[in-house]
Structure 1
Amino acid sequence: MKKSATVRHLVFTALLTALTLIFGRFFLIPLPWTHGNINLCDVGIFIGAMLLGPWAGGFIGGFGAMFLDLISGFAQYAPFSFISHGLEGIAAGLVFKYVRGKWGRIAGVAAGTIVMVVGYFFSDAILYTWATGAAGIFPNLIQGIVGSVIALLIASPVEKAVHPALSSK
């Protein structure tokens, strides 16, 4: 029984990693002033962290965002996206795990967004300049907020749909 639940957990982690890549690729706006982009990958990261926990959220965020950068022409960001979005998923998942209810979900997406924005500030500063890092704060914040709102809106229906498959039988 435990093994079957673990396999289902791995399958959902892989599925949400792929969906994170798809969400990001479907809605991707290049930003010339930061050499990066804004996208919807945060939706998959937050849903994964809510449903599967912090470590799965980190995996989904890290690998989904890294692969997105590699196939979208932003390869210079791939290692930074792996770290920033991976930590975003872990941070959000930890808050979701320990703070229950509506406020826990809001606090979780807020924590994840802050981690992502700070991560990309330093990424842009390392790759380019501190001014580039500062220029990326607002668009990254918008990306995180939009991803948070969408994730919060669809979280309950998604959870109801997949909960029977994730729970042990």
Structure 2
Amino acid sequence: MIVVRNEKLRDLTRYAVLIALTTVMTMLIQIPTPGTKGYLNLGDMVVFLAAMILGKKGGFVVGGVGSALADLLSGYSYYAPITFVVKGLEGFFAGALLDTKLGQKTPIIPTAIGGVWMAIGYYIAEIFMYGGKAALASIPGNMVQGLFGAVVAVVLSVALKRTKVFNS
């Protein structure tokens, strides 16, 4: 019989729920971006929440796995490896910066930086996939998506902190 300590089970459950939620929120509303054959979505807010709750490691795992899984399930399998890296690093960067004094005081800055990284990361990958002009066309939508996710995640984190979700 395997015995799992309560903290490990709690963390494993949080990872699973946040990965699933990232996948669902990424797939729930998809706004196509014609130039790159990609789509805008709401998954970033969950990636940032994961970074806030689980730290940089959790941000990476939830962002990478949850978002790549959504690509696989949505028929964008060619994006899945790129998404794993870009969204994983989005969560990692946000989580790492949230651990700083500035991040603790003003969480919108680390999450916004994560969102900006996401737009830059996809831009770099899409240069090789579609060329510079098409890749450049994806930046505004990705920036809006990332910054919207950052704002919503910060607002939700305040509400979740009041419910003691972050403290348990």
Residue pairs, 1:1-169, within 5 angstroms:
3-99=5-101, 100-103=103-106, 105-161=107-163, 162-164=165-167, 167=168
Secondary structure at the aligned position of 1:22 is classed as helix
Across the aligned residues of Structure 1 and Structure 2, the Cα RMSD in angstroms comes to 1.5
Distance, in Å, in 2 between the alignment partners of 1:160 and 1:12 is 18
- Return the offset for 1:62: 0.2
CA 1:91–1:14: 2 relative to 1, 3 Å: same
Distance, in Å, in 2 between the alignment partners of 1:102 and 1:144 is 20
Distance, in Å, in 2 between the alignment partners of 1:50 and 1:12 is 12
Moved more, 154-163 or 107-116: 154-163
Percent sequence identity is 34
The answer to whether the 8 A contact 2:116-2:147 is kept is no
- Return the offset for 1:160: 3.5
Q: Which runs of 5+ in 2 are unaligned?
A: none
Distance, in Å, in 1 between the alignment partners of 2:19 and 2:26 is 11
The answer to whether the 8 A contact 1:45-1:89 is kept is yes
Could you give the per-residue CA deviations for residues 79-138 of structure 1, whole angstroms, max 9, x where no partner exists? 0000000000000000111234341x1111112112111110012112111112111110
Distance, in Å, in 2 between the alignment partners of 1:75 and 1:30 is 15
Equivalences, count: 163
Secondary structure at the aligned position of 1:34 is classed as coil
Higher helix share: 1
TM-score (normalizing by structure 2): 0.91
- Return the offset for 1:20: 0.6
